[in-house]
Amino acid sequence: MSIWQRTATPEEMNRRCRGTMVEHLGIEITACDEDSVTATMPVDERTIQPLGLLHGGATAALIETVGSVAAALAVRDGFVTVGLDINATHVKSATEGWVTATARPRRIGRRMHCWQVDVVNMDGQLVSTGRITMAVVPDRSGRESPPSDTGR
């Protein structure tokens, strides 16, 4: 059974990120499966620190991005999710190629979501693991939500 309240293709989600830090860092949503969202980010001049290693802040931005997209798709109509807390533990460096982040739910509640996000390198080795906690609040923005296929 799918956890999603809304559906959107990776292309739609990437289009919504144009002109933001997400686009600047080269982050791209690549998949939305039954219980996870996946994104990639290049390890290049935009995302490394002075020693040539993947920057922890760029990794945290990737974790927040993929977790936020997942939460946005899992929240019920009339509500949005906003960040409360994010943490990341960096366990291996990356110096080239791409990293891939996958967000999976730890808890999807009426008032709070918690998502576990693992970031791996091109060899599938864990680079960083993180958690993002999101508050569920009424949507007062007037902005367009991702399309809903449930009508809830």
Looking at the predicted structure, is the pLDDT value of residue 147 above 60?
no
Domain boundaries, the chain: 10-138
Handedness of CA 14, 15, 17, 22 (dihedral sign): positive
pLDDT tens across 24-66, in order?
Answer: 999 999 999 999 999 999 999 999 999 999 999 999 999 999 9
Bridge partners (DSSP) of residue 88 are: 130
To which CATH superfamily is domain 10-138 assigned?
Hotdog Thioesterase (3.10.129.10)
Looking at the predicted structure, is the pLDDT value of residue 145 above 90?
no
Looking at the predicted structure, is the pLDDT value of residue 149 above 70?
no
Burial of 59 (0-12, 13-18, 19+ CB in 10 A): buried
Of the listed 12, 64, 96, 144, which one is catalytic? 64
pLDDT tens across 104-118, in order?
Answer: 999 999 999 999 999
Residues 6+ apart with CB under 8 A from 66: 29, 37, 38, 39, 101, 102, 103, 117
28 catalytic per annotation: no
- Give the integer Cα–Cα distance in Å for 98 and 25: 12
